[in-house]
Structure 1
Amino acid sequence: MSEVFEGYERQYCELSANLSKKCTAAGALAGEQKKQKLSDVRAGVEDAEALIRKMDLEARSLQPNVKAVLLAKLREYKSDLNNLKSEVKRIASGNLNAAARDELLESGMADTLTASADQRSRLMMTTERLNQSGDRIKDSRRTMLETEELGVSILQDLHSQRQALLHANNTLHGVDDNIGKSKKILTAISRRMSRNKWIIGTIIAVLIIAIALVLYFKLAK
């Protein structure tokens, strides 16, 4: 709901009610007093038309779902203002005699005021529905913001977890590299030990053969 539109709407409703009272009072007057009262009403009607134009511009600048409701209200306001303008013309025509004027005041004006009251009642109901729609829109917007904040929080948690996983992955790669190096060192040590075993075995075999030859020659003598 637009606060600007609500401000214009309050001004229009107050002005419309005031103009209806002045119009009713003008119907009971005559001469200069009647002309002065009708002049005041016409000036007020111009102000009311200006407010309706402002409300129309403001409504058309809003979101489609809100704009449709506000434009429906504006149609009611325009109809109410047209009825008031028609009543001003009838009062200002000067062709009605006293009896017709009394009849107008007793019947026509009563019907007009009843119609205006009905229109205002419908406008009040429309305003109430619009306020309820505005509250629902505000609740939906608040829920959307809360959902957005939750989504941002989840994304931040996922980012932190991703960084932790990348760090763990890098650590595992480092461990794999160290294991590979250790494996190469152990393989080299194993080969060296095998080579040393062969060398020692060869030396022992040579010593055994030498001892055997020495014993043989001594026993032979």
Structure 2
Amino acid sequence: MTDVPERMPLTRDFFDRPVVDVAPDLLGRTLLRHTPDGPIELRLTEVEAYDGETDPGSHAYRGRTARNATMFGPPGHAYVYFIYGMWFSLNAVCGPEGMASGVLLRAGEILTGAPLAAGRRPKARSTNELAKGPARLATALDIDRTLDGADLCTGGTAPLSLLHGRPPAPERVRNGPRTGVGGDGADHPWRYWIADDPTVSPYRRHVPRRRATSAT
């Protein structure tokens, strides 16, 4: 079998598979972001799978809305959402059109463009922290809702692409419950990461929010 060049964009067929197959296969891939100030490249080290309308943890669990419409589109596109009124998160749409599954890109190692990323993440204490978590990743790479629906399979000077990169050896891939997911989807072992990589974010189990009680 011929080795695929590291700079080759991932194909549409790569994403047109079950999300739990795509997610671990994204580890080690290169996320290329062309910003107005220059390119930033990141090696993915942590991801999470969300299986659409069958998964209580997914944004698509209750069906299609204006917010999640991109998840129902063709595979190999970006789904970007705004969370808690503060941060953006980036996902790769997977599976056949209409199935609404996706992979949350949780963390990675900045390969090139670290000064640009650091300029957007001034509170990071080291380069390992620049994209250590989904909100940090999106901030470091200047990702917002204008990139919702971006084609990840184009390559070249496209705003956002996923390249073949250098996947880790299978024995280095770990999986476990997703971070911050509660309810019936809490224990799905669909978070995947590269073992012992310093850019992987810490696991945090979901903690239900307490409702404020009125004084009597």
TM-score (norm 2): 0.21
* Richer in strand (by share): 2
Q: Please say which structure displays the higher CA radius of gyration.
A: 1
TM-score (norm 1): 0.21
* Richer in helix (by share): 1
Q: Which has the higher contact order (CA 8 A, sep 6+)?
A: 2
